[in-house]
Chains A and B, each alone.
Chain A
Amino acid sequence: MVRLAVDLNRCQGYAQCAFLAPDVFAMHGDEALLYAPEADESQRARLAQAAAACPVQAVLVDAVDVPADVPDEAVSGAR
Chain B
Amino acid sequence: MPGDGSLERLRREGRIVVVGASLAGLRAAEALRAKGFEGSLTMIGDEPHEPYDRPPLSKQVLLGRAAADRTALPRLRPVDATWRLGVPASGLDMAARRVRLADGDEVPYDRLLIATGVRARPWPHEAEAELDGVFVLRTRDDSAALARRLDAGPKRVLVIGAGFTGSEIASACRERGLPVTVAERGSAPLVGALGGVVGSVAAELQREHGVDLRCGVMVTALEGDTSGRVRAAHLSDGSTVEADVVIVSLGATRNTEWLAGSGLGAGPRGIACDAGCRAFDIRGIVTDDIYAAGDVARSPHALFGYQFLSLEHWGNAVSQARIAAHNMLSESTDRLPHMEVPAFWSAQFGVNIKSVGAPSLGTEILISQGSLQERRFVGVYGYQGRVIGAVAFDHARWLPFYRELIETTASFPPPFDNVDRRPGGQRPIDADFPDPSVPTHGPTVTLSGYSPADRRMTFTPAH
Contact = CB atoms under 8 A, between A and B. Distances in A.
Direct contact between A and B in the complex (CB less than 8 angstroms)? yes
A3 B83 contact: no
B71 A37 contact: yes
Interface string B257-276: 00000000000000000000
Q: Which residue, of A4, A37, A67, A73, has the highest number of chain B Cβ atoms within 10 A?
A: A37
Contact of B87 (A26, A60, A76): A76
Contact of A35 (B60, B72, B394): B60
B84 interface: yes
A37 B53 contact: yes
Contacts, number: 128
B396 A11 contact: yes
Given A31-B352, A37-B71, A62-B75, A74 B82 contact: no
A75 B85 contact: yes
A1 to B, nearest CB: 8
Contacts of B344: 9
Contact of B65 (A31, A36, A63): A36
Contact of A63 (B63, B74, B103): B74
Q: Give the interface SS of chain A, mostly helix, strand, loop or mixed.
A: loop
A69 B397 CA distance: 39
Given A37-B71, A62-B74, A67 B394 contact: no
B103 A32 contact: no
Interface string B6-23: 000000000000000000
B394 to A, nearest CB: 5
- State the majority secondary structure of interface residues on B: loop
Contacts of A62: 74-75
Nearest to B315: A9
Contact of A79 (B82, B315, B318): B82
A48 interface: no
A62 B127 CA distance: 43
A13 interface: yes
A23 to B, nearest CB: 11
Contacts of B65: 26, 34, 36
Nearest to B86: A76
A73 to B, nearest CB: 7
Contacts of A12: 396-397, 399
A7 B315 contact: yes
A78 B73 CA distance: 21
Interface string B264-291: 0000000000000000000000000000
Contacts of A32: 347, 350-352
Contacts of B86: 74-76
A30 B395 CA distance: 10
B48 A74 contact: yes
Q: Which of B59, B72, B87, B344 has the most chain A CB within a 10 Å cutoff?
A: B72
B371 to A, nearest CB: 15
A26 B347 CA distance: 13
Given A38-B71, A62-B74, A77-B84, A29 B350 contact: yes
Contacts of A76: 48, 84-87, 103
Interface string B295-332: 00000000000000000011100100000000000000
Contacts of B343: 9
B81 interface: yes
A70 interface: yes
B78 A64 contact: yes
B319 to A, nearest CB: 10
A37 B83 contact: no
Greatest chain B CB density within 10 A among A69, A73, A78 is at A69
B237 interface: no
A47 to B, nearest CB: 11
A-B pairs, top 9 by smallest CB distance, nearest first, are A29-B350, A32-B347, A31-B352, A32-B352, A76-B87, A64-B75, A74-B85, A9-B315, A38-B70
